Amino acid sequence: MAKGPERRKRIVESAVEVILEVGLRAATTRAVTEKAGVGTGLLNHYFRWPELRALAWAQIFAAVAEDQFDSEDDPAAALEHYFSTAFVPQARRFWHLWLEASELAASDDDMKAAFRAVSEREWGILEAVLAAGVVRECWSLPDPQATALRLGALYDGLAGRLLSPADNLDADLAEAHLRHAFALECSASGA
Amino acid sequence: MAKGPERRKRIVESAVEVILEVGLRAATTRAVTEKAGVGTGLLNHYFRWPELRALAWAQIFAAVAEDQFDSEDDPAAALEHYFSTAFVPQARRFWHLWLEASELAASDDDMKAAFRAVSEREWGILEAVLAAGVVRECWSLPDPQATALRLGALYDGLAGRLLSPADNLDADLAEAHLRHAFALECSASGA
DNA sequence: ACATATATTGAGCAAGCGCTCAATTATTGC
DNA sequence: GCAATAATTGAGCGCTTGCTCAATATATGT
């Protein structure tokens, strides 16, 4: 048992767990090897740390992207799900990981590539949902692509404020602001 | 010459310069003492590093806040200045410092206090400008405070995307989006 | 002058990091 | 069985970090 690259998988899984527990910045190779129960050399046999870190991060956010818009074919339900889960307490750790990745990407090419891929995918999904809702007349928007960008950016900004020590805001208010902004976008389409 | 705490000031100034050059995260005590031309011990005689770092950061953003809304008494001009300078290339380093501070604040009490003070001040200024514009009938807004929050959060989000490796966006587009969002806020006040 | 307090230095400590590498164990092909 | 190959170990290297501390220079008060 425990043949070839089974330990490799364990290392990636442990990296995911460590990152979820302590964040991207505080995660260390030693914490990962310790959690995986392997020698420090094995991690470096399979990976370089920036590479493994980016891989684990991407894996985390691949799962997040799936959860964020789970209603496959109903734009209204998908957007409702997006709004209602946007600021739940469990999401905090993911905003934090998102911000850390955004910063790390400035000096880390592996993170840069991972961040690019994930953020473009997430942006694309929101855009698709908004556009689909227009086609199906769930709502009307003059420019769904522009609305997707503004709504996504507003989401980032609100999440950032919820994380920051300045407490202008709580989760319910943030959600209300996001919904309000969307309502404004829709109201601008009066013929 | 160079009596008492003249060197103290030099150390703070050097800290400001170093932080502007390399960012909060990459700034080190050694870089500061080297730039100030003093021994490493002197920095620790006057400060602890987190303390000095937060002090220098706060000093930087005290100056930024002044520049951001310089038209003293004309809300329309102040907001126009806010929009037109929001995404100029020179501002990049400040968004970066802002994000770094926001993250550091999670684990650094000195930064937490500094960030709190600066962000509350900046948020208050935007709110005051928007409210003043309503009074003077430059524009009309149902809830200037809420608009200030959404506009500020959108600004943060757009700046974050301009910094991030995902290039959905350029500075001109970001400015257009910010102006558009404000226009939507105003259009919602139809009686 | 002299004593006292303050300013200032920089070698070096302790801790943390990613990563190397010779040695050891396990697996595989013939 | 027996090489050859791959997997695995962990002490330890090299580097960086903030910070200490005994030693020295400078200023101050009487």
Note the pLDDT tens digit of each residue in B93-136.
999 999 999 999 999 999 999 999 999 999 999 999 999 999 99
State the nucleotide closest to A44 in CA–C1' terms: C19
Written as tens digits, the pLDDT of chain A (191 aa) is 445 679 999 999 999 999 999 999 999 999 999 999 999 999 999 999 999 999 999 999 999 988 887 777 899 999 999 999 999 999 999 999 999 999 999 999 999 999 999 999 999 999 999 999 999 999 999 999 999 999 999 999 999 999 998 888 999 999 999 999 999 999 976 54
- Identify, with chain letter, the residue nearest to nucleotide D26 (CA–C1'): B3
H-type alpha helices, chain A? 6-22, 29-36, 40-46, 49-68, 75-85, 92-104, 109-135, 144-163, 171-187
Q: What is the largest CA-CA distance in chain B?
A: 68
Question: Residue B116: its chain A contacts at CB < 8 A?
Answer: 165-166
Please tell me whether residues A98 and A39 are part of one structural domain: no
| Residue in chain B lying closest to A116 (CA) | B166
Would the CB atoms of A96 and B106 count as touching at under 8 Å?
A: yes
Q: Does B61 touch chain A (CB under 8 A)?
A: no
Q: Are residues A73 and A38 in the same domain?
A: no
Confidence at residue A3, expressed as pLDDT on a 0 to 100 scale: 58
CB atoms within 10 A of CB B23: 17
For residues A138 and A164, membership in a common domain is answered with yes
Within a domain: B52:
no
Domain harbouring A92, CATH code? 1.10.357
Provide the token pair at B63.
């100056």
Q: Total structural domains in chain A? A: 2
B28 touches strand D (CB under 7 A): yes
Per the domain annotation, does A167 fall within a domain?
Answer: yes
Question: B177, A153: Cβ pair inside 8 Å?
Answer: yes
Point out the residue nearest to C21 (C-alpha to C1'). Answer: A41
The CATH number for A32's domain is 1.10.10.60
Walking along chain B (191 residues) 10 residues at a time, the average pLDDT comes out as 76 98 98 98 97 98 86 89 96 97 96 96 94 96 97 97 90 98 87 41
Cross-chain residue pair A99–B100, CB shorter than 8 Å: no
Taking the Cβ of residue A131 and every Cβ of chain B, the question of whether any pair is shorter than 8 Å is answered with: no
Q: Cα dist. B101→A100, B50, B119 in Å?
A: 12, 11, 11
Burial (CB < 10 A; 0-12, 13-18, 19+), residue B77, is middle
- Residue A70, both tokens: 């789970």
Same domain, B74 and B136: yes
Global pTM?
Answer: 0.93
A45 contact to strand D (CB, 7 A limit): yes
Strand D at less than 7 A from CB of B33 = no
Query: Are residues A73 and A37 part of one domain?
Result: no
CA of B5 to C1' of C1 (A): 27
Look at residue A175 and tell me if it is in a domain. Answer: yes
**A184 with B184: Cβ contact below 8 A:** yes
Any domain includes A52? no
Q: Are residues B123 and B31 in the same domain?
A: no
Cross-chain Cβ contact B103/A102 below 8 Å: no
Q: Which amino acid is at B131?
A: A
Same domain? B106 vs B184: yes
What is the domain range of residue A152? 57-188
